[in-house]
Structure formats: C-alpha cells, structure tokens
Amino acid sequence: MADEPIKGPASYFPSIEKKYGRPISEWKDVVRKHYPAKHMELVAVLKTDHGMGHGHANAIVAHTLAEDQP
C-alpha cells in the first residue's frame, strides 16, 4: 500500500514545492485567504499573483477545496 504512486492533485505537490520554493501548506493558506471565491477565481489568484502555471494552481485549489468540504 505504501508503495502505491500518489494520484490526483497531490501528485503535483513535489514539483510545485521544488519549482516555487514554498511548502504546499503555505499555498493552501493563500487559497484559503481568498475564500469564498470560486474554484477558477482561486486558480487565477495563484496564476496572476504568484506566477504559477495553470496545472499547478488547479491542483492546489482542487486539493484544498476537497479538504475543506464539510
């Protein structure tokens, strides 16, 4: 089980941390500071304000929103 590859948005996390130099927890905090914005508005914040690529921004937003659902 522990040897199974990571799937979904979290599979991007190592490359996001390496490329942008900040831990995922910080990126999730950025997303949460902009609540209650919609998914694509949150993606746009990461892209516009932080220079993140679309796939990386989308992965962080999707994972954060999934975590925060009641």
Q: List, for residues 9-55, the tens digit of each pLDDT value.
A: 889 999 999 999 999 999 999 999 999 999 999 999 999 999 999 99
Q: How confident is the model at residue 5 (pLDDT cuts 50, 70, 90)?
A: confident
Asked if residue 3 belongs to a domain, the reply is no
Asked if residue 63 belongs to a domain, the reply is yes
**pLDDT tens for each residue of 58-67:** 999 999 999 9
Contacts 24+ apart (CB under 8 A), 30-39: 31/60, 31/61, 31/64, 31/65, 32/64, 32/68, 39/65
pLDDT of residue 49: 97
Asked if residue 32 belongs to a domain, the reply is yes
Question: CA 4 to CA 55: how far, in whole Å?
Answer: 22
Asked if residue 20 belongs to a domain, the reply is yes
